[in-house]
Amino acid sequence: MYKKLERNDQCWCGSGKKYKVCHSAFDDKVLSFAKKGILIPDRGLLKTEKDIEGIKKSAVINMAVLDEVGDKIKAGMSTQEIDDIVMDVTTKMGGIPADLGYEGFPKSVCTSINDVVCHGIPTKDEILKDGDIINVDCSTILDGYFSDSSRMFCIGDVSPEKKRLVDVTKECVEVGLKNVIPWTQIGDMGHAVHEHAKKNGYTVVREIGGHGCGNEFHEEPWVSYVSRPKTGMLMVPGMVFTIEPMVNAGKQEIYIDEENDWTVRTVDGSMSAQWEVEVLVTEDGYELLSW
Ligand code: MF3
Ligand code: CO
């Protein structure tokens, strides 16, 4: 995993520099945490400058897609029409929708309305109504690099209760971002997210979380938003992962619709919201890559 390099070897990061003037001190720092029993990322999870540029270019498309959906989304529109926008904008900009065909997922985007927690499948029969809240979760591949982010949209006149859930869920992501602190553990970040949801009377889904992302769609680590402090992987500069808590107005329990084996709903029928960002850990905090 952490193959020991000699001082004059070429650095593992691809910089072309000698190890001793490149990542040698950095590796020593990472390994000092491992010695304390803290889980550290494989080197393969640390993105190079080239990787980061690639992910950012992919994210330009991902965010343009979500912008376009935001401009067009309205009552009376089908979720299939959202899927059409995603396919159209993504491919015109040279990308590929990452969802399409992923583990057999049949469409280009996930559209999750009201009590649907995630992985809603767009169809032409599902029509957005005044008062609905919907998550549109979009992921793009460009030149082999993955971007992943999602946004909530309120359709027409939404009840104050739904609006508050949408707003607090966004705050949960903001709280998560503030807690992306290099050389601390990812469980601290997830814990902070959970506390913010709880403080507002909400629950957070336990079984589905975030993930490393960038060179693959889903990489390590798996990211929980109901985690304990001082647990989970060390957040090391160069890691890229998503913050994407699923927040329920009622109970945390969920189930998967057996009709399609994808759509996840709240057991109690309560409303559920989610926002997702993709974030790079930096030396002094974080950089947003996709939102
Ligand atoms: N975009 C989702 C995520 O945030 C993954 C969707 S997978 C799909 O990780 F197959 F349902 F599209
Ligand atoms: Co994701």
pLDDT in tens, 33-78: 999 999 999 999 999 999 999 999 999 999 999 999 999 999 999 9
For the chain, where are the E strands, in sequence order?
A: 96-97, 110-113, 116-118, 133-142, 145-154, 203-204, 210-212, 219-223, 240-243, 246-248, 254-256, 264-266, 272-274, 277-282, 285-290
Q: Whose C-alpha lies nearest to ligand 1, atom 2?
A: 137
Structure tokens at 9: 């070897």
What is the distance in A from the centroid of ligand 2 to the CA of 105? Answer: 14
- Does the C-beta of 179 come closer than 6 Å to ligand 1? no
Residue 98 CA: which ligand 1 atom is closest? 12
pTM of the predicted protein model: 0.97
> pLDDT-based confidence at 1, cuts 50/70/90?
low
Q: What is the pLDDT of residues 148-177, one digit of tens each?
A: 999 999 999 999 999 999 999 999 999 999
What is the distance in A from the centroid of ligand 1 to the CA of 161? Answer: 27
Q: What is the pLDDT of residues 93-142, one digit of tens each?
A: 999 999 999 999 999 999 999 999 999 999 999 999 999 999 999 999 99
- Does the C-beta of 99 come closer than 6 Å to ligand 1? yes
- With vertex at residue 172, the alpha carbon angle to CA 167 and CA 173, rounded to the nearest 5 degrees, is 100
**Pairing relation of β-strands 145-154 and 254-256?**
unpaired
pLDDT mean over 5-16: 93
CA–CA distance, 147 with 165 (Å, rounded to integer):
25
What is the distance in A from the centroid of ligand 2 to the CA of 16? Answer: 32
- Does the C-beta of 140 come closer than 6 Å to ligand 1? no
Q: Whose C-alpha lies nearest to ligand 1, atom 8?
A: 99
Residue 105 CA: which ligand 1 atom is closest? 10
CA–CA distance, 290 with 53 (Å, rounded to integer):
12
